[in-house]
Amino acid sequence: MIKIYHNPRCRKSREALKYLEDKGATFEVILYLQNPLTGQELIDLIKKLRMPPIDLIRKEEALWKTQFKDKNLGDKTLIHLMIEEPRLMQRPIVEFQDMAVIVRPLAVLENLI
């Protein structure tokens, strides 16, 4: 099943959701800001994304810029930070089978689904 990690306030996230709806895909919406991922869920998602945790961080987010930008944080710390502050996670993320992508640009969904 397809999962979309969705933030309804994000234009890109709404576009990805609409794309899935328009394609008639069956999917589950994960509202990760209301229900933050557990440590294991986030670790599993990062593995499917095939990227280091730092690449999942929204580096333009004010919280990152003001509190963490110039710090040398390890993977475990970054994962813990995203659990505590899920708004720091890139979005939207679409997961399908053993893969996941950050949907930027929207065209990456064509290669996943």
The set of catalytic residues is 10
Type of residue found at 65: K
Q: Which of left, alpha, beta for 78 (phi over 0: left; psi -120 to 50: alpha)?
A: alpha
Q: Which of left, alpha, beta for 76 (phi over 0: left; psi -120 to 50: alpha)?
A: alpha
Distance CA 3, CA 93 (A): 8
End-to-end CA gap in the chain: 11
